């Protein structure tokens, strides 16, 4: 037995987006995830474990998929799990309101020979709209265990656990029309390799030109593959008119038969409020003001005011500055004889005084507040509506409405948002999104300080916002012109709007915070060490001196150079540096605005750059790095000239 | 007799300016011609137009010909973009060449094939021909692209245009399948429709791939 097979048995969750997979996962494992996960924007697989009657199982939550035939990166990730792990059970979670639409995937999973258990979730909502589902009959017809429930309301959970525990593999088959079956067997007859999925499923995927499957077959069938491919090509050509459609329609036909007698509809009351709000969000006339309201309350008031104001004041002021920092410095003074070590720990850029303090007292509350707001909006089902609203504008900048999710997430943490650009479909979209994130989307840590900084000067915040919007659109537009590629397409399912559920919001916030700390916290430490080394060796001073003439060109005092250098190590360090300068009265309103705009546009922080390198490679990330630097200073220079010429803010 | 290609181009511009923009004449400059232009001379000979100074007026006698010319142009755009899937500038250019060939009933055949479309891909109206009037009189609804429906209208999904396999697969895996009933909810800024109990948003490019048999 291989190591993998002898380890814990696996339960894999699969299903469309918005069917409550993550809730099922959390219910089964009883805890939030151990590996990064962004529900709804999920690109990674969450793993957790659960215990059923004394046996431990590993539970895997996969990104949403619509079909075994994978098109998006999320779907590929999800399917790879099915292709590679040998599960005890594949738990297919579907929405009771949309059986007809979701059962075809159940068929595909069964056809692939996977050990499927079906969970018909969200039964409560289905009943509310008057849908009656005969779960036992469905189970009988499908030939697999089926559980009905509303896991969000803890309904059906005990039964689900029982079924998972008692599961015995059973085979069930469905037949397509004879001609299609014949064509499939023309391929399966030739196949000799050993696979986790059935040959029939693979043959169908091969006929639908699934690249990953083609590669896998090429690999496993070795010499035999050319014959398989030849037959497959012949069939694809013979059926060139309607192959995909035919397969889908056959599945639909089978599902219709399965659902006969299973599903009854008896009117029921209509949900009104959610639909009305939904309509308001999608109408540009009411939808755009709504976006602004959401931004104002979610971002400005909650993140800027509460997170960056109240919470930071408490943690940074009351906790660190008054208690922890003096205590740590005193402790170091008394116990550490070496200057360099004292500097490393509690100096100006020390691990504790700078690294830990910034991470815990400034970034944690701001990012935490942002993640709460983001999770609440996400759980309400608002993002897909926002996506459809901005799709036309985003098309102009080479993206599609989908990209609104990484973009909004960028206001929390650009580094995390850069990871999430993986959910975009084409390489072109991913590069443009990465560029815009690193240029014109300020992260929450930076926003907090910038709002505080600019709100002291009348009109400065307005100039800053306009500059960001303009640069975002203009650079996006130009990037879309320069980078060749096909027009992105936009499609999205709009889940019903609902009140965010507190448990969901908390779980989502906590998972993101956890990811943030695991991935970003070490980078804070590295940044502190780099700054410390820079200070000791004089490299920092040298860099600042190099930057000073550039500052002159922007009409800024040379002291600002230090803020820019710091800005690279943490975006908010830079902004906070400006804050100090403004307090000392070194900057006039124009200089303050120009500095804030340039700094926001300026190169992303170290963490974002490293993630960019990981996601996009050296070439692209260096290219973006230099482009962003150039653009930031060019815009700063122009803005300075413009403000001086017009006398605005003077 | 057949009007020349050059004359047709002039008629088209005149029709759009006078019928759709409410102007009463078009300058030589905007027609891209000079005095003594052959196409113009031809139209003057047919008494389809009048010239006052630098301004060309469309006469009542020329209206029918102009209307059908515009119709042929926009039908050929539809054919290029919807059926032959040649889009963008290339589609526009090919359409300009093709329009001159749509005569002797070819326009009627194409109009019927396209199910009597009412607008061109740029959203301008296609003047109806006799075939359209007849179809309307007999209450023949036929199959139209989703982009032709108004919010609140719906019907059965007839087929998905198979130009881009990936797009089709995506639509199908979301459950947008022939035979399902679809209800259009919004058309701007994106197309929002309902299939079963789920709502979807798609852009115009995708909406154009979904064909609906209009319900009553």
* pLDDT, tens digit (0-9, with 9 covering 90-100), for B144-174: 889 888 999 988 888 787 667 777 877 887 8
Segment A525-545 mean pLDDT: 85
Give the per-residue pLDDT at A618.
93
For the residues B1-13, what does the mean pLDDT come to?
82
**Cβ of B189 and A249 within 8 Å?**
no
How many residues are listed for chain A in this entry? Answer: 650
Q: Chain B residue with minimal CA distance to A390?
A: B189
Mean predicted confidence (pLDDT) in A374-387: 90
What number is the ipTM of this complex? 0.79
Cα A59–chain centre separation? 21
* CB atoms B197 and A97 under 8 Å: yes
- Interchain contact B205–A (C-beta under 8 A): yes
Specify the CATH number of the domain B143-214.
Answer: 2.30.30.90
d(CA A24, CA A27): 5
Q: For A372, list phi and psi in degrees, rounded to 5.
A: -65, -50
- Tell me the mean pLDDT in the region B68-73: 87
Whole-number pLDDT of residue A507 = 81
Is the domain covering B5-64 a CATH 1.10.3470 domain? no
- Residues in B closer than 8 angstroms to A248, CB to CB, are 172-173, 177
Worst-scoring range by mean pLDDT, A204-218, A242-256, A505-519?
A505-519
Residue A261: Cβ within 10 Å count: 11
Q: CA A27 to CA A157: how far, in whole Å?
A: 8
Task: Considering only residues A216 and A349, tell me which one the structure prediction assigns the higher pLDDT.
Answer: A216
Q: Note if the pTM is more than 0.80.
A: no
Cβ neighbors of A391 (< 8 A, separation 6 or more) are A400, A401, A490, B189, B190, B201, B203
Chain B hits for A252, CB-CB cut-off 8 Å, are 177, 179
Q: Which CATH architecture has domain B71-138?
A: Orthogonal Bundle (1.10)
Q: How many CB pairs under 8 A join A and B?
A: 113
Q: Does B171 touch chain A (CB under 8 A)?
A: yes
Identify the CA nearest to B209 among candidates B198, B193, B196: B193
Structure tokens at A404: 């609104």
Distances from the Cα of B203 to the Cα of A283, B173, B191, angstroms: 15, 17, 6
B170 Cβ under 8 Å from any chain A Cβ: yes
Handedness of CA A508, A509, A510, A513 (dihedral sign): positive
The side-by-side arrangement of strands in the sheet containing B49-52 is B26-27, B55-58, B49-52
Q: Which CATH class is domain A178-265?
A: mainly alpha
Closest CB from A252, A278, A389 relative to B179: A252
Q: Work out the minimum CA distance from A252 to partner chain B, whole angstroms.
A: 8
Q: pLDDT averaged over chain A? A: 86
Q: Whose structure tokens read 């169908």? A: A204
Q: Which helix (H) or strand (E) holds A180?
A: helix A178-188
Spatial distance between the Cα atoms of A13 and A26, rounded to a whole number of angstroms: 11
A384: nearest CA partner in chain B: B201
pLDDT single digits (tens) A586-619: 888 888 899 889 988 987 777 888 889 988 999 9
Domain boundaries, chain A: 3-166, 178-265, 284-646
Confidence of residue A2 (pLDDT cuts 50, 70, 90): very low
Identify the residue with better confidence: B135 or A546: A546
For residue B137, is pLDDT > 50?
Answer: yes
Our CA angle for A201, A205, A211, nearest 5°, is: 140
Task: Name which of A108, A489, A495 to mutate to probe chain B: the one with the most chain B Cβ atoms within 10 A of its Cβ.
Answer: A489
pLDDT of B107 over the 90 cut: no
Instruction: Look up tokens 């008494």; give the residue.
Output: B47
Give the mean model confidence (pLDDT) for residues A170-183: 89
| B199 in contact with chain A, both atoms CB, cutoff 8 A | yes
Rounded distance between C-alpha atoms, residue A259 and residue A93, angstroms: 17
Closest CA to A597 of A574, A616, A617, A614: A574
* Gap between the Cα atoms of A305 and A366, Å rounded: 9
Within 13 A of A308's CA, how many CA atoms are on the CB side?
Answer: 25
Chain B CA closest to residue A389 = B189
* B19 min Cα distance to partner chain A (Å): 30
CB proximity under 8 Å: B 15-74 to A? none
Q: CB distance from A165 to chain B under 8 Å?
A: no
Residue B175 · residue B196 · CB < 8 Å: yes
Q: Is B181 on the interface with A (CB under 8 A)?
A: no
Report the mean per-residue pLDDT for chain B. Answer: 82
Residue that wins the pLDDT comparison between A579 and B47? B47
The tokens describing A214, both together, are: 């083609």
Position A6 scores a pLDDT of: 44
Q: Mind listing the pLDDT tens digit for each residue in A8-65?
A: 889 999 998 778 887 888 888 876 544 333 334 455 677 888 888 888 899 998 888 8
pLDDT value of position A273: 81
**Quick one: chain B helix, strand, coil %, rounded to 5?**
45, 20, 35
Predicted local distance difference test score (pLDDT) of residue A268: 60
Instruction: List alpha helices for A355-443, DSSP H.
Output: 357, 364-380, 383-396, 404-410, 414-420, 427-440
Q: How distant is the Cα of B211 from the closest Cα of chain A, in angstroms?
A: 14
Distance of CA A79 to the CA centre of its chain: 18
Residues from chain A that touch B177, judged by Cβ atoms under 8 A, are 248-249, 252
- A residues 476-495 near B, CB within 8 Å? 487, 489-494
The pLDDT assigned to B141 comes to 61
| pLDDT per position as a tens digit, A120-164 | 999 988 888 888 999 999 999 999 999 999 988 889 999 999 999
The shortest C-alpha distance from B24 to chain A (Å) reads: 35
Confidence check: pLDDT of A570 > 70? no
pLDDT at residue number A572 = 64
A residues 185-214 closer than 8 Å to B (CB): 208-209
Number of C-beta neighbours around residue A529 at 10 A: 15
> What residues contact residue A222 under an 8 Å CB cut-off, 6+ apart?
none
Q: Hey, how many other C-beta atoms are within 10 angstroms of the C-beta on A562? A: 21
Whether the per-residue pLDDT at A3 is higher than 50: the answer is no
Q: Over the stretch A267-305, which tens digit does the pLDDT of each residue have?
A: 665 656 888 888 899 999 999 999 999 988 988 889 888
Contact A101/B at CB under 8 A: yes
Distance from CA of residue A493 to its chain's centroid?
A: 17
Q: Is the pLDDT of residue A227 over 80?
A: yes
CA dist., res. B39 & res. A279, Å (int) = 53
CATH superfamily of A3-166: P-loop containing nucleotide triphosphate hydrolases (3.40.50.300)
Chain B residue with CA closest to A16: the answer is: B174
Q: How far apart are the first and last CA of chain B?
A: 43
């Amino acid at each position: 037995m291989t190591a993998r097979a002898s380890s814990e048995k696996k339960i894999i969750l699969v299903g469309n987006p918005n069917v409550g997979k993550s809730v099922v996962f959390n219910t089964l494992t009883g805890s939030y995830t151990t590996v990064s996960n962004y529900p709804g924007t999920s690109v990674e697989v969450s793993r957790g474990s659960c215990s059923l009657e004394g046996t431990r199982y590993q539970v895997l939550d996969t990104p949403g998929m619509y079909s075994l035939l994978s098109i998006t990166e999320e779907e590929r990730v999800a399917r790879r799990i099915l292709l590679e792990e040998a599960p005890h059970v594949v738990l297919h979670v579907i929405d009771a309101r949309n059986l007809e639409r979701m059962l075809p995937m159940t068929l595909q999973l069964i056809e692939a020979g996977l050990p499927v258990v079906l969970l018909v979730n969200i039964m409560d909502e289905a009943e509310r709209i008057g849908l009656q589902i005969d779960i036992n009959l469905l189970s009988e017809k499908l030939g697999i265990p089926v559980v009905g429930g509303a896991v969000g309301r803890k309904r059906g959970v005990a039964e689900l656990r029982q079924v998972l525990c008692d599961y015995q593999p059973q085979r069930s088959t469905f037949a397509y029309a004879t001609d299609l079956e014949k064509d499939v067997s023309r391929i399966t007859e030739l196949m000799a390799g050993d696979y986790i999925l059935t040959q029939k499923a693979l043959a169908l995927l091969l006929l639908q030109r699934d690249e990953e499957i083609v590669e896998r077959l090429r690999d496993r069938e070795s010499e035999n593959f050319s014959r398989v491919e030849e037959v497959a090509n012949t069939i694809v050509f013979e059926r060139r008119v309607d192959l995909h459609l035919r397969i889908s329609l056959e599945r639909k036909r089978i599902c219709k038969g399965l659902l006969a007698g299973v599903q009854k509809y008896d009117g029921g009351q209509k949900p009104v409020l959610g639909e009305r709000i939904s309509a308001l969000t999608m109408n540009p006339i009411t939808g755009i003001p709504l976006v602004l309201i959401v931004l104002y309350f979610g971002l400005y008031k909650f993140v800027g005011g509460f997170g960056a104001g109240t919470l930071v004041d408490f943690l940074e002021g009351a906790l660190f500055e008054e208690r922890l920092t003096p205590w740590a410095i005193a402790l170091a003074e008394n116990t550490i004889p070496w200057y360099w070590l004292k500097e490393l720990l509690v100096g100006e850029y020390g691990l504790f005084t700078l690294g830990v303090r910034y991470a815990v007292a400034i970034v944690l509350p701001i990012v935490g507040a942002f993640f709460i707001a983001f999770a609440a909006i996400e759980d309400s089902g608002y993002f897909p509506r926002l996506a459809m609203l901005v799709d036309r504008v985003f098309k102009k900048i080479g993206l599609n409405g989908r990209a609104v999710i990484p973009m909004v997430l960028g206001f929390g943490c650009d580094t995390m948002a850069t990871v999430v650009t993986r959910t975009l479909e084409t390489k072109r979209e991913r590069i443009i999104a990465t560029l815009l994130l690193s240029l014109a989307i300020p992260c929450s840590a930076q926003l907090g300080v910038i709002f505080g900084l600019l709100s002291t000067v009348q009109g400065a915040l307005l100039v800053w916002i306009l500059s960001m919007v303009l640069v975002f659109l203009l650079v996006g537009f130009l990037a879309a012109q320069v980078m060749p590629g096909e027009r992105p397409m936009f499609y999205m399912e709009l889940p019903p709007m609902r009140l965010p559920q507190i448990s969901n919001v908390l779980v989502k916030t906590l998972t993101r915070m956890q990811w943030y700390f695991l991935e970003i916290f070490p980078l804070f430490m590295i940044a502190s060490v780099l700054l410390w080394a820079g200070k000791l060796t004089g490299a920092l001073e040298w860099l600042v001196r190099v930057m000073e003439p550039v500052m002159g060109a922007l009409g800024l005092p040379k002291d600002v150079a230090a803020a820019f250098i710091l800005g690279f190590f943490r975006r908010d360090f830079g902004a906070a540096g400006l804050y100090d300068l403004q307090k000392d009265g070194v900057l006039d309103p124009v200089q303050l605005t120009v500095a804030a705009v340039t700094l926001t546009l300026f190169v992303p922080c170290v963490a974002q750059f490293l993630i960019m390198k990981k996601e996009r490679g050296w070439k692209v990330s260096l290219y973006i790095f230099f482009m962003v630097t150039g653009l930031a200073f060019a815009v700063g220079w122009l803005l300075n000239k413009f403000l001086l010429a017009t006398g605005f803010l003077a | 007799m057949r009007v020349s290609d050059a004359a047709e181009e002039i008629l088209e511009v005149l029709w759009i300016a006078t019928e759709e923009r409410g102007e009463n004449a078009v300058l030589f400059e905007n027609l891209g011609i000079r005095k003594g232009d052959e196409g113009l001379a031809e139209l003057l000979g047919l008494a389809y137009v009048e010239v006052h100074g630098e301004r060309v007026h469309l006469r009542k006698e020329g209206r029918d010909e102009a209307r059908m010319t515009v119709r042929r142009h926009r039908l050929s755009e539809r054919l290029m973009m919807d059926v032959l899937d040649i889009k963008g500038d290339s589609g526009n250019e090919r359409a300009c060449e093709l329009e001159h060939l749509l005569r002797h009933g070819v326009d009627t055949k194409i109009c019927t094939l396209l199910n009597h479309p009412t607008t061109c891909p740029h959203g301008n109206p296609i003047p109806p021909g006799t075939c359209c009037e007849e179809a309307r009189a007999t209450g023949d609804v036929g199959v139209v692209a989703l982009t032709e429906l108004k919010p609140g209208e719906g019907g059965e999904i007839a087929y998905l245009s198979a130009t881009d396999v990936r797009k089709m697969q995506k639509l199908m895996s979301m459950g947008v399948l022939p035979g399902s009933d679809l209800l259009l909810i919004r058309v701007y800024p994106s197309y929002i429709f309902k299939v079963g109990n789920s709502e979807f948003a798609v852009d115009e490019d995708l909406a154009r791939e979904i064909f609906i048999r209009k319900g009553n």
